[in-house]
Each structure stands twice: as C-alpha cells, then as structure tokens.
Structure 1
Amino acid sequence: MGILSVFGKHRSLAFELTQREVLGRYRGASFGLLWSLISPFLMLLVYTLAFGFVMKGRWPGSTGSTTDFALILFAGLTVHGFFAECFTRAPQLIVSNTGYVKRVVFPLDILVWSMTFSALFHLLMNMVVLLLLQLAIKGSIPVTAALLPVVVVPLVILTVGVGWMVSSLGVYLRDIGQIAGVIAAAMLFLSSAIVPVESVPESYRIVFELNPLTFIIDQVREVVIWGRLPNWGGLGIYTAIACTVALLGHRMFNKLRVGFADVL
C-alpha cells in the first residue's frame, strides 16, 4: 500500500511536486508550456532530415515513404526518451533534495513518482504530436490508438521500480550517476527504437529482445502506427514482471533510506 500511496493520501503532494517540475522546466520561456508541443515537433523534423533524407532509412513492412519512417522512428524514440529521462535523473534525485531527507515525516518515495509523472507528461505531449501528424499525413488515427495508455502503464510501473532502486543506490554510490547516461544510450541502440529486431542477426537478437524497452516500443507502434491490437499475453507477463520490480525497488528504497541523512 505504501507503493500506491501516491494515489491515496499523498496524491495532492505528488501532484504539486509534478506541477512544479513541469512548470519549472519552462519558467521564463516566452512560449511556456507550448514548448512541450513545439520541442517534439522540432525533434521529429530533425529525425526526418537525418534518418529519412540523409541516411535514406526505410522500415520493413511500411510503405517505404520518408514520412512513415519518421513516424515509426519517432514513436520508438519518445518511449526511450521517457525511460531515459527518469533513469538518468534518478541517481541524483535524493542527493539533490537533501532538504526533504531531513524532514522525518516527508514521504521520500513520492519523489520518484513525481519524477516519473513529469516525464510521463512529456511522453503524452510527444504522443499528441505523433497522433496529430498521423492524422495530417494519413487522414485518420487508428481506433487502436485508444489502447495507448494500456500499453504504456506497464512501462511506467517498471520505471518507478527502477527509479526507486537507482535513486536509493545513488546516495551511497555516486558513480552510478556517471554511467547512467551511457547505459541509457546503450538501451537506445540495443532496442527496436532505431533498428527493427527482424534485421538484427540471429546471434545478437536476444540482446534486443531482453531490452525492456523493445517490447513496449513495438506495442506502441502496433496500436498507433499499424492500427493493430497489442500482444495481450505479452503485456500481461510484462506487467507481472514490472510489478515485481516495483515491489523489490520499493523494499530496497525503504531499507536504504534509513541511512540517507547520515550519508548526506
């Protein structure tokens, strides 16, 4: 129940922290929150130019057009961006909030939830841009796109669990913060975000399939790009594993938090 307290007695606190993070990112900017929509659109233009026109990339099973390739690529990169943002921020999450550590009554595990919700907001904005472009280019949005939240929720649960683990270990092992970016980059290039798994040699394919981002990226493309139903069995197994990771992560966080104040 401590894991789900963010949806109960601590939901107002989690909302305030998330709002502060989101608004703080755009504070002082002329366009404010509009940048949450402008940024992914500009990012999509860069991907289209680099991978579509310069590198002439094409995705198996698509129409072969540059716009289709850009949308497919964008869907994968935004999913990775969500996880990478949380993973790279987690090592410094507790260290950068020492004021909360010294408050005995403050629920420190809420910080991971607020960090995840903030990244989830930007993932939502990216998906809005993706759906709008899908509508503009193809003239319609697949009905299966309504299942997008069902596909993303298991990844959110997994991200929270990993966030608890990494943020608690980051207090004691500061080197984690130095290698988190490298690991996040490796997860990008060893997933289906950029390279379709089918085009990877059999001997290396297992590495891509074991990447926790590959399955979710493929399922997002199924419901948003291809207009097909997700793999319900795979989602069920993924959710079970994600919940296990979340439980273990929360237990680890609670065991290690007793020493946060002494270390900081």
Structure 2
Amino acid sequence: MNFKQLMNPIFIFWNLWRQRELIVQLTKRDIIGRYKGSCFGILWSFITPIFMLIVYTFVFSVVFKAKWGVGSDSKVEFAMVLFCGLNAYNIFSECINRAPGLILNNANFVKKVVFPLEILPIVVIGSALINGCIGFLVLMAGVVFFMGILNWTVLFLPLVLLPLLLLTLGLSWFLASLGVFLRDIGQVVTVLISALLFASPIFYPITAIPEELQKLFYLNPISYIVQDLRRIFIWGQMPDWDWLLAGITIGIFVTALGHAWFQKTRGGFADVL
C-alpha cells in the first residue's frame, strides 16, 4: 500500500466504515468495562456531569458571583460557559491521554494479522464522545433550567465537533504508534495536555488576554472549538464558518497524516512488543 493511498481521506474513512460493526462492539465493551463492578454502572455518565455542573454553578455564581461579561445577565452564566468549554476539552484530553498506551495495552491484538489495529483510536474516541454527548445533554438541561433559554443553534453541534474529532483521531494514531517505540511519550503527553487546559480560553474569555498575545492563543484549535460551542449553546449565535472550513481542512490533513504514519510503522510493533 503506497503512501498516497494511506493519505487518501476517502480510502481511510471507507476502510473504517467497513469495520463499523467491530468498532461498535469494541466501543460498547470499552464503555461497559469502564463501569464494570460499580453499583450505578453507566448512570455515572450522567451523575458525574450533573454533579460537576452543580459544583461549578455554586462556586462561580454563589461564592465568586462571577459573570462572563457577555450575553445573558444570569448569575450562573459563568458556570454554563465554563462547563461548555470543559466538556469539549475532556473529550480531547481523554483520547489523547489514552493514545500512547493503546497498542501497549492491547498487545494481544498485534500478533493477530487480521485484526485492524487502526480502529483502536476510533473506539476510544467513540467512548469519549458518548460521555461527551451526555455532558452536552446535561449542559442543555442546565441552560434551560438555570437560564431559561434553548437555542436552536445547538443543532450545529455535530458540525462544530467535527474539527475536534478529526484532529483527535489524527493525533491519536500518531501517539499510539509513537507510544510503542518511546514509552516516555505518555508522561510527556500528560504534562502537555494539562498545560493545554490553561492555554485555552476555558476558564477565561479570549478578550481577557493582552491583545498582543491573542494571536498566539488563536493558534490553538481548541480555542475556536470552545468558542463555537459557547456560541451555539449559550448565546444562540451561528458558528464561525471561516474557522469551520479551515478547521475541517486541517483536521482532514492531520487525520490523513496520522493514519499514514500509523500504517507505515505498525510493521515494527510486534518486534518491539
């Protein structure tokens, strides 16, 4: 299989589509395994975001009396805006943090010639996305209950998340492969992902950053995604169409590059493991 074919988005997504039944089965297993042995099981996917939303609302609306400064004057606006950004970040961080150990933790699949190792990052993304969507449902309920609004623009959620998912998939393929050959990469990724939380406008608006530094923050794709999510959920605004076009293009390129890297290096996995 030549490099051009490995970089072809049509070939990549068609190949993944052919494996959809296996991807669904493994995703279900991943979700069930996460809560195996717990009393509430899958209900924790609802309990955790509801609890965090209550905590954010209390801390920021009652203790700090904080407001984001735009949109609604509701006392809980800061909590809703913050939760919106954190939920998107959690989808990305969960996948990227798990990526370096994907092949190492599934070494039994490496020697199975017929097993498509490239679907492992898809399984992790599917699991994280399901939890993320539950979080967005909780957010929507919170916006309706606390702020008394329900914006039709939430229908753009799949489109707004698309650049994030494409970027996550490409990076996951790259890190899953790299994690086999460089075991320390997992520790490096953990540190970088923690830093990314504070380098993204999640706890603060982009306008709070000095104007001369804002361009640096806009180099971070998460900044655009977080702001678009707030537009469609909180303020009832349209997404940034220019960013969506650029973000999807960048995401497809990163996905193709990550896929090509993974497929070119997978031949050495068995020798290292």
Which bracket does the TM-score occupy, shorter chain normalised? Answer: over 0.9
Residue ranges of structure 1 left out of the alignment (5+ in a row): none
Structure 1 counterpart of 2:5: none
Separation (CA, whole Å) in 2 of partners of 1:149 and 1:195: 24
Report the alpha carbon displacement of residue 55 of structure 1 after superposing the two structures with TM: 3.8
1:37-59 CA distance string (max 9 Å, x none): 11001112222334443344321
Structure 1 counterpart of 2:180: 171
Moved more, 69-78 or 44-53: 44-53
Structure 1 residue corresponding to 2:232, chosen from 223, 238, 242 = 223
Structure 2 counterpart of 1:155: 164
Separation (CA, whole Å) in 1 of partners of 2:147 and 2:72: 12
1:11-63 CA distance string (max 9 Å, x none): 00000110011111112222221111110011122223344433443212144
Q: Which aligned pairs between 1:194-209 and structure 2 lie closer than 5 A?
A: 194-209=203-218
SS where residue 218 of structure 2 aligns? helix
Separation (CA, whole Å) in 2 of partners of 1:138 and 1:46: 16
Report the alpha carbon displacement of residue 2 of structure 1 after superposing the two structures with TM: 4.6
Structure 2 counterpart of 1:214: 223
Give the letter aligned to residue 222 of structure 1: R
| TM-score, normalised relative to structure 1 | 0.95
Moved more, 199-208 or 16-25: 199-208
Structure 1 counterpart of 2:200: 191
| TM-score, normalised relative to structure 2 | 0.92
Report the alpha carbon displacement of residue 156 of structure 1 after superposing the two structures with TM: 0.6
**Preserved contact between residue 60 and residue 66 of structure 2 (Cα < 8 Å):** yes
SS where residue 263 of structure 2 aligns? helix
Number of aligned residues: 264
Moved more, 14-23 or 64-73: 64-73
**Preserved contact between residue 60 and residue 76 of structure 2 (Cα < 8 Å):** no
Structure 2 residue corresponding to 1:83, chosen from 82, 87, 92 = 92
Separation (CA, whole Å) in 2 of partners of 1:238 and 1:151: 9
Separation (CA, whole Å) in 2 of partners of 1:157 and 1:217: 15
**Preserved contact between residue 154 and residue 233 of structure 2 (Cα < 8 Å):** yes
Separation (CA, whole Å) in 1 of partners of 2:146 and 2:74: 11
**Preserved contact between residue 18 and residue 114 of structure 1 (Cα < 8 Å):** yes
Structure 1 residue corresponding to 2:137, chosen from 128, 136, 149 = 128
Separation (CA, whole Å) in 2 of partners of 1:90 and 1:8: 21
Report the alpha carbon displacement of residue 8 of structure 1 after superposing the two structures with TM: 2.3
Q: Percent of counterpart pairs with the same letter? A: 42
Give the letter aligned to residue 119 of structure 1: A
Matched, 1:239 2:248: yes
Separation (CA, whole Å) in 1 of partners of 2:74 and 2:142: 14
Report the alpha carbon displacement of residue 64 of structure 1 after superposing the two structures with TM: 4.4
Report the alpha carbon displacement of residue 70 of structure 1 after superposing the two structures with TM: 0.4
Give the letter aligned to residue 45 of structure 2: S
Q: Give the direction of change, closer, same or farther, for the CA distance of 1:138–1:52 in structure 2 (3 Å limit).
A: closer
1:164-211 CA distance string (max 9 Å, x none): 011111111111101211111111101111111111012322232111
**Preserved contact between residue 151 and residue 216 of structure 1 (Cα < 8 Å):** yes
Matched, 1:93 2:102: yes
CA RMSD, aligned part only? Answer: 1.4
Report the alpha carbon displacement of residue 10 of structure 1 after superposing the two structures with TM: 0.4
Moved more, 239-248 or 134-143: 134-143
Report the alpha carbon displacement of residue 6 of structure 1 after superposing the two structures with TM: 5.8
Q: Give the direction of change, closer, same or farther, for the CA distance of 1:65–1:120 in structure 2 (3 Å limit).
A: same
Report the alpha carbon displacement of residue 223 of structure 1 after superposing the two structures with TM: 0.6
Give the letter aligned to residue 116 of structure 1: I
